[in-house]
Amino acid sequence: MKRVIFESGAFEDFTGWAVQDKKLHAKIVDLIRHTSKHRIVWSQAA
């Protein structure tokens, strides 16, 4: 998996879901893996 960069506070949410909502956390991990594998890049319009 490539390097993943989280917005401020997002990593806290991500790790919190690992404890509170394992199903949601697993879906997010799968999404991160999928986007990393298929080189999907998300960008915001300026």
33/22 Cα distance (integer angstroms): 16
23/17 Cα distance (integer angstroms): 8
Q: How many domains does the chain have?
A: 1
Q: Tell me whether residue 46 is exposed, middle or buried, using C-beta atoms within 10 angstroms of its C-beta: 0 to 12, 13 to 18, 19 or more.
A: exposed
9/38 Cα distance (integer angstroms): 26
pTM summary value: 0.69
The confidence score (pLDDT) of residue 1 equals: 57
Q: pLDDT (tens digit, 9 = 90+) per residue, 16-44?
A: 999 999 999 999 999 988 888 877 666 76
Instruction: Supply the range of the domain harboring residue 33.
Output: 1-46
For residue 4, what are the contacts with CB-CB under 8 A and spacing of at least 6? Answer: 32, 36
